[in-house]
Structure 1
Amino acid sequence: MPEFSSDYQKMLLTRIATDSDRDAFRALFVHYGPRIKAVMLKAGADQQLAEDLVQDVMLNVWRKAKLYSPERGAVSTWIYTIARNARIDKLRRGSSKPYEDLDDVELASEEADGEDMVIANEISGRVTDALSELPDDQRQIIRMAYIEDLSQSDIASKLSIPLGTVKSRMRLAYGKLRSTLEELR
Structure 2
Amino acid sequence: MAQAQYFSGLIVRVATERDKTAFVELFDHFAPRLKGYLMNQGADGALAEEIAQDVMVTLWRKADLFDPKKSSASTWLYRIARNRRIDRLRRQKTAELDPEEPALQPTPLPDVADEMDARLREERVRAALTKLPDEQKEVVRLAFFAGQSHSEISESTGLPLGTVKSRIRLAFGRLRQLIEADEAVDVD
Alignment correspondent of 2:88: 90
CA separation of 1:76/1:20 partners in 2, compared to 1, >3 Å: closer, same or farther?
A: same
Aligned to 2:9, the other structure's residue is in SS state helix
Could you list the structure 1 runs, at least 4 aligned residues long, displaced by more than 4 angstroms after superposition: none
Instruction: Give the one of 102, 124, 134 matched to 1:100.
Output: 102
8 Å contact kept, 2:51–2:85: yes
| TM-score for the superposition, normalised by structure 2 | 0.50
Alignment correspondent of 1:65: 63
**Gapped runs of 5+ residues in structure 1?**
105-185
8 Å contact kept, 2:5–2:72: no
Q: C-alpha distance in 2, partners of 1:103/1:55?
A: 25
8 Å contact kept, 2:51–2:84: yes
8 Å contact kept, 1:57–1:83: yes
Alignment correspondent of 1:29: 27
Aligned to 1:73, the other structure's residue is in SS state coil
- Count of matched residue pairs: 102
Q: C-alpha distance in 2, partners of 1:40/1:95?
A: 20
Aligned to 1:18, the other structure's residue is in SS state helix
8 Å contact kept, 1:53–1:86: yes
CA separation of 1:70/1:102 partners in 2, compared to 1, >3 Å: closer, same or farther?
A: farther
**Gapped runs of 5+ residues in structure 2?**
107-188
Q: Identity of paired residues, percent?
A: 44
Counterparts of 1:35-54 in structure 2 under 5 Å? Answer: 35-54=33-52
| Greater RCO (CA < 8 Å, at least 6 residues apart) | 2
CA separation of 1:49/1:87 partners in 2, compared to 1, >3 Å: closer, same or farther?
A: same
Larger radius of gyration: 2
| TM-score for the superposition, normalised by structure 1 | 0.51
CA RMSD of aligned residues (A): 2.2
